[in-house]
């Protein structure tokens, strides 16, 4: 329960990212490193969970939360034997995953992402579901290397494969697979234990989320550690439970939509009532979740 609530609070802060940094002063945030494997860590602080891979070829970072936390993030990296990241990959464009880009880019970190992530970070964005505005990033914060489908990194004794999954949480999502270590960073494809935000306005969809989760499940086994975009460190069993919830929700909402029901009528039908106790104890209750994702149900 505590893990769900903490994760939800982190996301709520993220949707307030257009307010001054004093919403939660950086000095009040603790960035913690949770060991996932011999060389891989999950960093938690404020915003999306960070993945860290350390070794003799340099530190490889997955996402970077918010700009005021960069010094604490780098300190956490150094505490486990790493240094200022040599490489950074953004799993998608949202500010709680890309807020530190400019700081790290100025320090020489080479930034990677899917093509659409660079496009959105260059142009800025507005997420109407939260009335959330994201300003364009300076050149230093933009991905220098982009890819359309996938890209592989060969470093620190492992092969790290970044895989694009279309129209999932957004239109630019990637998950990151550490093949030798048997670890996957799922980005915001996976909200561990609660209904996920789906950015329908920017290309996300419930169907795409399901397809993306299926791709991760196909790579995982019972020993795979899965870093969720939000929530606690997960495993294949937890991801499979999440997949079942998404599938049930999709089938019920699609049926309502195909019968001509509006979002308001779908909400009134309470199609997620039996899921609420398990999945509604996070960022959204079922009614609000339906309101946000229904336009993208097909």
- What CATH number is attached to the domain comprising 123? 3.60.15.10
Question: What does the pLDDT read at residue 27?
Answer: 84
Structural domain contains residue 246 = no
Give the pLDDT of residue 24.
Answer: 54
In a domain, 262, yes or no: no
User: Looking at residue 78, what is its pLDDT?
Assistant: 99
Residue 286 lies in a domain: no
150 found inside a domain: yes
pLDDT digits (tens, 9 = 90+) for 221-240: 999 999 999 999 999 999 99
**Alpha carbons within 13 A on the beta-carbon side of 32:** 9
Total domain count, the chain: 1
Within-domain flag for 263: no
108 in a structural domain:
yes
Sheet holding 110-114, edge to edge: 32-35, 40-44, 50-53, 60-62, 87-89, 110-114, 145-147
Encoded tokens for 200? 């329908």
> Is residue 200 a part of any domain in this protein?
yes
Question: Rounded to the nearest 10 degrees, what angle do helices 206-219 and 236-258 cross at?
Answer: 150
**Which parts of the chain sit beneath pLDDT 50?**
1-23
Residue 278 lies in a domain: no
Residue 121's domain comprises: 2-237
User: Measured between alpha carbons, how far is 87 from 76 in angstroms, rounded to an integer?
Assistant: 16
Predicted confidence at residue 227, as pLDDT, reads 99
């Amino acid at each position: 329960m505590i893990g769900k609530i903490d994760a939800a609070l982190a996301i709520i802060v993220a949707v307030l990212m257009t307010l001054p940094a004093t919403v939660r002063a950086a000095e009040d945030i603790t960035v913690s490193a949770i060991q996932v494997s011999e060389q891989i860590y999950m960093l938690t602080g404020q915003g999306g969970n960070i993945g860290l891979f350390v070794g003799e070829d340099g530190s490889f970072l997955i996402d970077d939360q918010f700009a005021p936390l960069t010094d604490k993030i780098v300190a956490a990296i150094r505490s486990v034997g790493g240094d200022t990241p040599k490489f950074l990959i953004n799993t998608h464009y949202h500010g709680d995953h890309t807020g530190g880009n400019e700081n790290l880019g100025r320090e020489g970190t080479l930034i990677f992402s899917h093509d659409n992530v660079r496009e959105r970070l260059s142009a800025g964005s507005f997420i109407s579901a939260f009335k959330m505005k994201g300003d364009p990033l300076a050149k230093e914060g933009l991905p220098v290397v982009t890819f359309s489908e996938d890209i592989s990194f060969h470093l620190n004794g492992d092969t790290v494969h970044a895989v694009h999954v279309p129209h999932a949480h957004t239109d630019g999502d990637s998950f990151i697979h550490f093949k030798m270590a048997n670890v996957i960073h799922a980005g915001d494809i996976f909200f561990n234990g609660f209904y996920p935000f789906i950015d329908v306005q920017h290309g996300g969809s419930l169907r795409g989320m399901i397809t993306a989760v299926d791709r991760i499940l196909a790579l995982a086994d019972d020993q795979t550690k899965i870093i969720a975009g939000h929530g606690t460190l997960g495993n294949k069993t937890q991801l499979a439970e999440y997949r079942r919830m998404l599938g049930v929700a999709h089938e019920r909402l699609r049926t309502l939509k195909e019968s001509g029901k509006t979002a308001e009528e779908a909400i009134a039908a309470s199609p997620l009532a039996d899921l609420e106790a398990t999945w509604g104890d996070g960022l959204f209750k079922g009614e609000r979740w339906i309101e946000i994702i229904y336009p993208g149900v097909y």
